């Protein structure tokens, strides 16, 4: 009986994989980021760069899909009233659930970031070490404009960091808006 259920499950999985539409999505754009820092007022948005690559897996010809990505994101903060800008660069891996209706879509999911640059300047600001990992949630929406065999994607997201990136007494959490343009290439 267990073998029968296992075979039925494998056949269903093979059917779902065959029925999937897969898209490769290179993208680039702007990041508007800041940190929510305790004991500091006047944090402002810092403009940065983001670029990445995603794979969109449509689930069984439905409006739902799963989209894992690998992105480079320049985050950090700017202190209002000064010229002080602090960069903290990440490699982020969001895994988004995506729902499409017509050319418009919404997405949301968890994100894991690994700090890869700018840590020294941030550590000097906080007087403490920086957590290398940042767990958060991303949510957003976009539009897919048919172009050639694929689609041009205009995407906007809000990134909410849940991890205190500062190991010192003050808490600091990343916040950001990501605006990207990409091209969905059917595979």
- Indicate whether this model's pTM tops 0.95: no
Q: Quickly list DSSP for 102-141.
A: TTEEEEEEEEEEEEEE-HHHHHHHHTS-B-SEEEEEEEEE
Has residue 139 been placed in a domain? yes
- Gap between the Cα atoms of 7 and 96, Å rounded: 29
Decide: residue 138, CB within 10 A, 0-12 exposed, 13-18 middle, 19+ buried.
buried
Which of the four pLDDT bands, split at 50, 70 and 90, describes residue 98? very high
Which of the four pLDDT bands, split at 50, 70 and 90, describes residue 5? low
The predicted structure's pLDDT at residue 120: 80
Our count of domains for the chain comes to 1
Decide: residue 102, CB within 10 A, 0-12 exposed, 13-18 middle, 19+ buried.
exposed
The predicted structure's pLDDT at residue 2: 53
The predicted structure's pLDDT at residue 154: 98
Q: What is the pLDDT of residues 156-183, one digit of tens each?
A: 999 999 999 888 787 889 999 999 999 9
Has residue 13 been placed in a domain? no
Has residue 129 been placed in a domain? yes
Has residue 120 been placed in a domain? yes
CATH code assigned at 29: 2.40.160.20
Which of the four pLDDT bands, split at 50, 70 and 90, describes residue 83? confident
DSSP strand pairing (172-186 vs 43-44): unpaired
Q: What is the pLDDT of residues 17-39, one digit of tens each?
A: 444 599 999 999 999 999 888 77
Has residue 121 been placed in a domain? yes
The predicted structure's pLDDT at residue 4: 54
Has residue 4 been placed in a domain? no
Paired tokens of 20: 């999937």
Question: Could you tell me what percent of the chain has a pLDDT over 70?
Answer: 89
Has residue 102 been placed in a domain? yes
Q: Do the beta carbons of residue 88 and residue 131 sit within 8 Å?
A: no
Does the pLDDT at position 91 exceed 90?
yes
Contacts of 61 (CB under 8 A, 6+ apart): 19, 21
**Domain limits at 59?**
20-186
Does the pLDDT at position 149 exceed 80?
yes
- Gap between the Cα atoms of 96 and 179, Å rounded: 16
Give the residues across from 156 on adjacent strands.
141, 179
């Amino acid at each position: 009986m267990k073998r029968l259920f296992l075979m039925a499950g494998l056949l269903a999985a093979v059917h779902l994989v065959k029925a999937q539409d897969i898209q490769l999505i290179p993208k680039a754009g702007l990041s508007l980021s800041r940190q929510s820092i305790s004991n500091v007022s006047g944090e402002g948005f810092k403009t940065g760069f983001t670029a990445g690559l995603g794979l969109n897996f449509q689930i069984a010809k439905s409006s739902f899909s799963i989209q894992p990505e690998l992105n480079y994101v320049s985050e950090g903060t700017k202190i209002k009233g000064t010229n002080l800008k602090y960069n903290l660069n990440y490699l982020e891996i969001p895994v988004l659930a995506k729902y499409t209706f017509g050319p418009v879509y919404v997405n949301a999911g968890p994100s894991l970031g690994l700090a890869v640059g700018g840590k020294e300047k941030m550590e000097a600001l906080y007087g403490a070490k920086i957590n290398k990992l940042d767990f958060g949630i991303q949510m957003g929406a976009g539009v897919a404009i048919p172009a050639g065999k694929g689609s041009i994607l205009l995407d906007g997201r809000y990134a909410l960091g849940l991890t205190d990136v500062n190991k010192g007494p003050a808490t600091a959490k990343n916040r950001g808006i990501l605006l990207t343009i990409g091209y969905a290439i059917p595979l």
